[in-house]
Chains A and B, each alone.
Chain A
Amino acid sequence: MTTSTHDPRVVASPEVAAARQGRSTRSRRPGGQRRPPLRRDGVWPWLFVLPLFTGVAVFYLWPIVNTAYLSMTRSGPFGGSTFIGFGNFTELVADPQLYTSLGNTLVYTGIVALGIPIAVYVASLLNLPGLRFAQFYRVLFFLPYVAMPTAIAMVWRVMFNGDFGLVNRALGVVGVDGPYWVSDSSTAIVAVAIVGLWSSLGFSVIVLGAGLKTIPPELYEAAELDGASTWRQFRSITVPLLTPSIFFVTIITVISSFQLFDLLYAILGSANPVLPQSMSLVYLFYREGFVNNDKGYAAAVAMVIFLVIGVVTALQFRMQRRWVQDV
């Protein structure tokens, strides 16, 4: 237990090494080779992956295979199905609900993704050396993430109330006549997204905060000696070196935004007249499978969701090379 000032993470991290040797981190990637060199690991990697993969295969991949099969059947509420090929999919492609819900999901994802730059900024502020009350602020930003969704949705519903809600009262102060947030088809999804942004910010902040800890402080010191402004330091050091964490947060935020269901259900309520115009993809899935009891059709919706998120995620992995710093 030596209380040394050595921090191996920092000392040995490649950016640090690069920075210390006066190299730009960008230049350190000949030919974009990011894989470790071929090495004989023999059976080891399998031993490492096996425990997880067994569980994933049994409890998750198998149900997906089941669902894929189900999507090609006509199936009632309690199982028992007849194979119909791609019938559900042809029906689904012609279903306007699919496009409405896809559109809403995209709007929601877009708004929630706005939280990522905010989170980067907040995380960097929290990481300022010697900032007082940083612990306290961190707890404040983390609070929404700890919230029990059903209880907090109730609070937000009250705040969004068109006639008496605090949101509209606040808007009224600055002379804006606020809408009936959760019962107007043009604003309902926005209201849900605001809560989504609010509740996911804490997660992004802690993940990015952990990422920030790996940026060596001497980079900032050097920059400060060079007279770089705080903003300049933020742009030239913090953001570039944080890109792997930002990438991770982006992937997770997008995937979970596409899974929007609980929050929408809790905030809008199941008897809301604007639901047909405001539903998300997963809501459509839920409604077909658990309300209308059309399990086959719902499975087809699930497969479409699978496909859409899969494509979007794959695209992000592709684009990753353009903007994520090699590490």
Chain B
Amino acid sequence: MTRTPARGATRAAALALGVTLLAAGCGNGDDTGGEGADSSGGWTEPAQDLAADITYSVWDQTQVAAIDENLAAFNEKYPNIDVTVNVTPWGEYWTKLQTQASSDTLPDLFWMNGPNIGLYASNGKIEPITGEVEAGAIDPASYPSSLVDLYTVDGTQYGVPKDFDTIGIWTNTALFDKAGVDLPTGDWTWQEFQDTAAEISEKLKSDGVYGAAGGMDGQTTYYNTIFQAGGYVVEDGTSGYATPEDQAGIQFWTDLMESGASPSMQQLTDTTADQWFTSGKLAMYWGGSWFRAALQDEALAKDVTVLPLPTDEEQATVIHGVANVVAASSTNKEAAQALQVFLASKDAQQQQGDAGSVIPAFTGTQSAFTASMPDANLQVFLDAVAYAKPLPVSNNSAAWNALETDLLPQAFSGAKPVDQVTADLAKQMDAALAEE
């Protein structure tokens, strides 16, 4: 059952490369006690009798079943590598990781996301995958290129995505029927979206139903509209919020709330957009592909279909995905990298996809996802990869994410003019970026 993608052929090249990479790889961690880990920088496929105990840290309990399947397959090839999966809940995951990183006790292999990759990579906490790529064990071309870029920091590749998510509009067709509004075809402009949302809110007002909803989460809302307007959030260490494009992207949501198409900022804080949707009180919800899991087993699911996001200057959606990365301080790098390579393989990715909790990142392994709700047109999320832009991040994303959360609500609620808020945000964000 153990299938390994094209690896052997380039092993010699990798061996040669391994020597050069050794120096780079050893820079940060202590490579003292590795069990037979004589080469830790470059990559050669380890012997199948390699024995090691390694830890794999993740934050999502619901994916553990799929991971266990992966590990069973992995152990067929490497029976002596014992992998412990550690689940730390999202709320504490990063605090724990930071504590471990400060003490050089990071788990051998662990999940990484876009907002944090810069921080860990630029501080030398993560082992690059340059060796595996050069050796041909991981081929970046097999994954969405925008996510490959996301995990490239200062020209060095640190991981490839294990899964991805894009944004679409989850639509309650029953509410469209009830309001007597035609379901949009999906090829639509901002204005058409706004009009549709306002019309539904108007017609179903007595039921307390809204056409659409804004929100505080950039990934599912305003980052998308900023990209659609042709703007950017962060580029080359500067903020894009002062640009007219970004202002338009923010204005979109202000308009949506002002027209009454969306619940107010306060209502959306008390009851989040996804709750409005699952309660059958929201016709169109801008949400990630991950939302499918919340819909399964719900009565509502039979009325749900997905529409692509509307288009302004360009068509765009935010894409993000989690990557498996190896700790630079790992004392079992050989084994950890073997697992990293295995999890990135097409077979492992196919297993992940079939288990159904995420969209696997390896091209061509996603069919199980669309099949899970055959009538909901989940294909929208896969098609979006073609025009998707990666989640905006920098080396210390959290600092300016906090600024967005602090300032933008005033613009959405109409408490302050959009241009004033965005100018202020741009200024503070630039200051934060300058400190990175």
| Residue with the greatest number of chain B CB neighbours at <10 A, chosen from A79, A165, A292 | A292
- Contact status A161-B398, CB under 8 Å: no
Q: How near does chain B come to A7, taking the closest CB pair, in angstroms?
A: 47
User: Which residues on the B side are within 8 Å of A292 (C-beta)?
Assistant: 396, 398-399, 402, 432
- Contact status A276-B98, CB under 8 Å: no
Q: A-B pairs with the 7 shortest C-beta distances? A: A273-B409, A183-B269, A180-B266, A183-B266, A292-B399, A276-B406, A271-B216
Q: Decide yes or no whether B147 CB sits under 8 A from chain A.
A: no
User: Which residues on the B side are within 8 Å of A162 (C-beta)?
Assistant: 266-267, 270
Residues 161-191 of A, flagged 1 when their CB comes within 8 A of B and 0 if not, give: 1111100000000000000101110000000
Complex A-B: 22 CB contacts under 8 Å: A77-B101, A77-B119, A78-B98, A78-B101, A79-B102, A162-B266, A180-B267, A180-B269, A182-B270, A183-B265, A183-B270, A269-B269, A271-B217, A273-B265, A273-B409, A290-B94, A290-B95, A292-B402, A292-B432, A293-B396, A293-B398, A293-B399
Q: Decide yes or no whether A236 CB sits under 8 A from chain B.
A: no
Q: Decide yes or no whether A287 CB sits under 8 A from chain B.
A: yes
* B395-425, CB < 8 A from A: 396, 398-399, 401-402, 405-406, 409, 413
* B112-130, CB < 8 A from A: 119, 123, 125
* A251-299, CB < 8 A from B: 269, 271-276, 287, 290-294
Instruction: Using known A-B contacts A184-B266, A292-B402, determine if residue A164 contacts B271 with beta carbons closer than 8 Å.
Output: yes
User: Which residues on the B side are within 8 Å of A183 (C-beta)?
Assistant: 265-267, 269-270
User: Which residues on the A side are within 8 Å of B267 (C-beta)?
Assistant: 162-163, 180, 183
Q: Decide yes or no whether A76 CB sits under 8 A from chain B.
A: yes
Residues 15-49 of B, flagged 1 when their CB comes within 8 A of A and 0 if not, give: 00000000000000000000000000000000000
* B255-313, CB < 8 A from A: 265-267, 269-271
**Closest partner residue, chain A, to B401 (CB atom):** A291
* B64-115, CB < 8 A from A: 94-95, 98, 101-102
B contact set with A: CB distance below 8 Å: 94-95, 98, 101-102, 119, 123, 125, 216-217, 265-267, 269-271, 396, 398-399, 401-402, 405-406, 409, 413, 432
User: Which residues on the B side are within 8 Å of A184 (C-beta)?
Assistant: 266
**B123, B271, B399: which contacts A291 (Cβ < 8 A)?**
B399
Q: How near does chain B come to A155, taking the closest CB pair, in angstroms?
A: 14
User: Which residues on the B side are within 8 Å of A160 (C-beta)?
Assistant: 270
Residues 289-317 of A, flagged 1 when their CB comes within 8 A of B and 0 if not, give: 01111100000000000000000000000
Q: How large is the interface on A (under 10, 10 to 19, 20 to 34, 35 or more residues)?
A: 20 to 34
State the total of A-B contacts with C-beta under 8 angstroms. 71
User: Which residues on the A side are within 8 Å of B399 (C-beta)?
Assistant: 291-294
- Contact status A274-B269, CB under 8 Å: yes
Give me 15 other A-B pairs in contact (C-beta within 8 A), A78-B102, A161-B271, A162-B266 excluded.
Answer: A77-B119, A78-B98, A79-B102, A163-B271, A180-B270, A183-B265, A183-B270, A272-B269, A273-B405, A273-B409, A274-B269, A275-B405, A276-B406, A290-B95, A290-B98
- Contact status B402-A291, CB under 8 Å: yes
**B270, B405, B409: which contacts A161 (Cβ < 8 A)?**
B270
Q: How far apart are the CA atoms of A182 and B272 in the complex, in Å?
A: 13
Q: How far apart are the CA atoms of A163 and B276 in the complex, in Å?
A: 12
Q: How far apart are the CA atoms of A271 and B271 in the complex, in Å?
A: 12
Q: How far apart are the CA atoms of A264 and B398 in the complex, in Å?
A: 20
Q: How far apart are the CA atoms of A276 and B424 in the complex, in Å?
A: 15
- Contact status B216-A163, CB under 8 Å: no
Q: How far apart are the CA atoms of A76 and B435 in the complex, in Å?
A: 10
- Contact status B405-A293, CB under 8 Å: no
User: Which residues on the A side are within 8 Å of B271 (C-beta)?
Assistant: 161, 163-164
Q: How near does chain B come to A74, taking the closest CB pair, in angstroms?
A: 9
Q: How far apart are the CA atoms of A88 and B398 in the complex, in Å?
A: 20
- Contact status B396-A78, CB under 8 Å: no
User: Which residues on the B side are within 8 Å of A79 (C-beta)?
Assistant: 102
**Closest partner residue, chain A, to B398 (CB atom):** A291
- Contact status B269-A182, CB under 8 Å: yes
Q: How near does chain A come to B271, taking the closest CB pair, in angstroms?
A: 6
Q: How near does chain A come to B319, taking the closest CB pair, in angstroms?
A: 21
**Closest partner residue, chain A, to B396 (CB atom):** A293
Q: How near does chain B come to A272, taking the closest CB pair, in angstroms?
A: 6
Q: How far apart are the CA atoms of A163 and B267 in the complex, in Å?
A: 7
User: Which residues on the A side are within 8 Å of B216 (C-beta)?
Assistant: 271-273
Q: How near does chain B come to A319, taking the closest CB pair, in angstroms?
A: 38
Q: How near does chain A come to B269, taking the closest CB pair, in angstroms?
A: 3
User: Which residues on the A side are within 8 Å of B402 (C-beta)?
Assistant: 287, 291-292
User: Which residues on the A side are within 8 Å of B270 (C-beta)?
Assistant: 160-163, 165, 180, 182-183
* A74-93, CB < 8 A from B: 76-79
Q: How near does chain B come to A238, taking the closest CB pair, in angstroms?
A: 42
- Contact status A78-B123, CB under 8 Å: yes
**Closest partner residue, chain A, to B89 (CB atom):** A150
Q: How far apart are the CA atoms of A77 and B103 in the complex, in Å?
A: 12
Q: How far apart are the CA atoms of A79 and B406 in the complex, in Å?
A: 27
User: Which residues on the B side are within 8 Å of A276 (C-beta)?
Assistant: 406
User: Which residues on the A side are within 8 Å of B266 (C-beta)?
Assistant: 162, 180, 183-184
**Closest partner residue, chain A, to B279 (CB atom):** A164
Q: How near does chain A come to B205, taking the closest CB pair, in angstroms?
A: 14
Q: How far apart are the CA atoms of A294 and B400 in the complex, in Å?
A: 13
- Contact status B123-A77, CB under 8 Å: yes
Q: How near does chain A come to B222, taking the closest CB pair, in angstroms?
A: 13
Q: How far apart are the CA atoms of A27 and B95 in the complex, in Å?
A: 55
- Contact status A293-B119, CB under 8 Å: yes
| Residue with the greatest number of chain A CB neighbours at <10 A, chosen from B269, B409, B413 | B269
User: Which residues on the A side are within 8 Å of B94 (C-beta)?
Assistant: 290
Q: How near does chain A come to B313, taking the closest CB pair, in angstroms?
A: 28
Q: How far apart are the CA atoms of A76 and B396 in the complex, in Å?
A: 10
Q: How near does chain A come to B115, taking the closest CB pair, in angstroms?
A: 11
